[in-house]
Structure 1
Amino acid sequence: MTQRVRVAVLAGGPSAEHEVSLQSARAVLDALPKDLYEPVPVIIDRQGRWPVELRGDLADVVFPVLHGPFGEDGVIQGHLETLGIPYVGCGVLASAVGMDKVAMRRAFLAEDIPVTPHVWFTGHEWRSTTDHWALVKSLDWPMYVKPVSMGSSIGISRVTSMEELRAGVELALSYDRAVIVEQGVSARELICGVLGGYDDAEASVPGELIVPDDWLDYEAKYLSPAEIATIPAVLPERVAEEVRELSLRAYRAIGGYGLARADFLYEQDTGRLYMLEINTMPGFTSRSVYARAWGASGVSYPDLLRRLIDLAFARSGA
C-alpha cells in the first residue's frame, strides 16, 4: 500500500479572522481524500501559540488555511520557507502584496488594471489634523472605509457623512495602523477563482455575490443561512471573459502561485469593471465562493485540494 502524504492543516492564529480560519480548516480536513492523504490538524491559538513544533517529520506538506494578518500576509509563508517544508498557496511577496490594499492597488495600476478612486492615510495623519475632510475630499459619498491589511469584511464601514466617516476610520484603526477609503460605486460584485502556477494559471467561471443592504458584511458571509452568491454569474460573455482575463492579470501582477480569488465591481450601466482586490487565501468553508466557482468549472472540492497540494510539491521541486 502506498504511504499516504501527511498534510498539516494550519488554522486559527492571532488574527481577527481566527473563527473563519477554523471553519475553513474543518472543511479541508473533512474533504481531503483519505486514501491519498493523512490529515494533521495544527490549530494555533489566539495568542499565536502552536500545539506542536512544525517539522519535516510531522508533515510532508502544509496547507495553511490562515486568513488575515499572520497567515495571509507572508509571515507564515516566510516561516515555512525557512523550515523547507512545501506549502499550499502564494509565496511571501504575493501574500504580503495581496494583504496590503495599498500595495495591491499600486501593483494593479502599474499593470493598467482599473481600480476605483481611493485615498489612504495612517492613523498618525488622521489624528494630526482636525480637517478630516481634506484627507478624503477627492471622493464623493458614499465611501467605504477599510483597514489596509484585513479581510473577511472585518473593520469595514459604508459611510455617507463626516460623522460616519470619523466613526468608520476609528473602527478601521482599531484593526490596523492605516486606512484606505474607497469611492463607492453602484455596481454588481463579481468574483473569479484563479488556480495554477506562475505561468499556467487558469480562471474559473465568474460568480456574483448577492449583496444585501449595500455590502456583504462578516455576518452575512459567515453567520447567515441566506445564499450569498450566484455561480455562474449571469453575464454577457464579453464581460465574463474580461473578468477571467483581468483575474489572471491581477494574479500575475502580485506574483501569485497556487490560488487566489479576484473580486470585482461591475457597473452594468457603463459596462466598466473595477478590480476590487485579490485574496491569496480565500475562505474554504462549505459556503466558499472560491470552491463553488471551481465546482461550476468542473473541478470538485477534493480535486481542488489535490491540485493545490500537487502545486505545492511542484514549487518545492519535491
Structure 2
Amino acid sequence: MAKYNNIAVIYGSDSSEWEVSCRSGEFTASRIDDTRYSIFEIFARFGKWYLVAMRKKDSMRVTFPEEARPEVDKNDFSVTVYGEKIKFDYAYIMQHGAPGENGLLQGYLEMLGIPFSSCSAFVSAVAFDKYSCKSYLKDVDYVNFAPDTFVRKGMDIKAVAAKTVETLGLPLFVKPTDGGSSFGITKVHKAEELEEAISFAFSEGPTVIIEKGISGREFTCAAYFDGNKVSTLPVIEIVTDNDYFDYEAKYNGHSKEICPAQIDESKSAHIQEVTAKIYAHLGCKGVVRMDYIDGPDGLYFLEVNTIPGMTSASLVPKMVRAAGLDITAFLNTLIENS
C-alpha cells in the first residue's frame, strides 16, 4: 500500500530556469505511478500557484485552460476542483532555482508538516549557494576544490578582478553563487574580460564566485536513498563542443553525454564513492547529482544539484536507464523513502 494518496508535482520557478523546470515537472508527473497515486501538476511562479493538470488514480490526465486554472490554497496546501477540496499529502519538487531549490519552498512544506521529495530547507539552502556548499565541504579529504574568490555586489570590482587574476591566474570561471543551468556563467581567458564577466554574473544574483579553471574530463554522478542505504547511479562523462558545458551545450545539442562513462571500473567506483560521501556529509534527501572535473591531480568538486533536471533527455533519467531501472519504479522508491 502506498504511503501517500495525492501528490503535487510543483514546477515553474522565479528564476531564469523556469521553462526548464516546467519540462522537468511535466516529464516527472507523466512517469509517477498512477496506479498508486493521484498526481496534480502545480505551476508556481512569483507567488501564484495554479493547478494546470491532474491525473487521478487509474484515470486519464485532465488539463485546465490558463483562464480556468484552480488556485492552490497555500494556507493548507490544497486545491478545490469541481467543488471537491483536495489536500495534497506529498510534494514532488521540480522547481529549478528559487524558491524550490534554495530551501524556501521546503521551509513552507516543513512548517505545514507535508513530506516532500528533496533535501531539507537547511540543506537545500547550503547546497544551492556554490560558495556556501564548498565552505561546508572544504575539510573533507576525498575530493579537491578549485581555489576561489567570493564577490558581493557593492565591492570594488576593479580591485577584486586585479587581485583574483594575480592570485588565481587564468583561465577563470565566473559564476553566480546561486544559479543553475549555466545562466550567468563566463569562462574568462583574458584579464580584461573579468570585470564584465562579474557584472554579467550579477544579473542572476547579488553574490558571485570566481574559480580557478581546472582542466580535465567532466563527470557527473547521482545518489539517492533506496530505503536501506545511499545508492549511486552510473557515472556520465560530458564532452562538449563548446568551451565548457554552457546552456547551449546542455539544452541545444552541443554536447555528448556518455552513459555509462567509458572509464575503468576503479575510477567509476571512486566517483560513485565520493558522490555517496558528499550526499551523506551534507545530509541530502531524494535524488541529488554531483558534478566534477577529473583534473591532473585528482577529482575536483564542481557543484551539487539538489533538484537535477528530469526531462526525458536529462542526465538523471539517462543514468536510471543505464542502471537498468524503470523510471516509474525509481520514482516510487524516491517517494516512498522521503
Q: Is TM > 0.5 for Structure 1 vs Structure 2?
A: yes
Identity of aligned residues (%): 31
> Aligned with 1:62: secondary structure?
strand
Partners of 1:10 and 1:95 lie apart in 2 by 16
> Paired residue for 1:315?
none
Structure 2 gap ranges (5+): 51-71, 79-85
Structure 1 residue 246 corresponds to structure 2 residue 266: no
Partners of 1:167 and 1:48 lie apart in 2 by 32
> Paired residue for 2:150?
120
Q: 1:166 to 1:191 in 2, by over 3 A?
A: same
> Aligned with 1:210: secondary structure?
strand
Once the two structures are TM-superposed, the CA of residue 227 in structure 1 deviates from its matched residue by 5.4
The answer to whether the 8 A contact 1:264-1:274 is kept is: yes
> Paired residue for 2:47?
48
TM-score normalized by the length of structure 2 = 0.85
Structure 1 gap ranges (5+): 313-318
**How many residues are treated as equivalent by the alignment?**
307
Q: 1:162 to 1:79 in 2, by over 3 A?
A: same
> Aligned with 1:216: secondary structure?
coil
> Aligned with 1:110: secondary structure?
coil
Q: 1:48 is matched by which residue type in structure 2?
A: G
The answer to whether the 8 A contact 1:117-1:139 is kept is: yes
TM-score normalized by the length of structure 1 = 0.91
1:138-287 aligned at under 5 Å gives the runs: 138-196=167-225, 200-222=229-251, 224-225=252-253, 228-267=256-295, 270=296, 272-287=298-313
Greater alpha carbon shift after TM alignment, 149-158 vs 294-303: 294-303
Once the two structures are TM-superposed, the CA of residue 226 in structure 1 deviates from its matched residue by 5.2
The answer to whether the 8 A contact 2:175-2:185 is kept is: yes
Q: 1:81 to 1:197 in 2, by over 3 A?
A: farther
Structure number with the higher strand fraction is 2
Q: Which of 95, 99, 115 is the aligned partner of 2:124?
A: 95
> Aligned with 1:132: secondary structure?
helix
Structure 1 residue 294 corresponds to structure 2 residue 320: yes
The answer to whether the 8 A contact 2:129-2:178 is kept is: yes
If you compute each CA radius of gyration, which structure gives the higher value, 1 or 2?
2
Q: Can you list the C-alpha shifts for 1:187-207, whole angstroms capped at 9, x where unaligned?
A: 111010101179821111111
The answer to whether the 8 A contact 1:193-1:294 is kept is: no
Q: 1:137 to 1:229 in 2, by over 3 A?
A: same
Q: 2:199 is matched by which residue type in structure 1?
A: E
> Aligned with 1:138: secondary structure?
helix
The answer to whether the 8 A contact 1:198-1:252 is kept is: no
Once the two structures are TM-superposed, the CA of residue 298 in structure 1 deviates from its matched residue by 2.6
> Aligned with 2:290: secondary structure?
strand
Relative contact order: is structure 1 or structure 2 higher (C-alpha 8 Å, sep ≥ 6)? 1
Q: Which of 63, 70, 83 is the aligned partner of 2:112?
A: 83
Partners of 1:221 and 1:120 lie apart in 2 by 26
1:37-76 aligned at under 5 Å gives the runs: 37-45=37-45, 47-51=46-50, 52-54=72-74, 55=77, 57-76=86-105
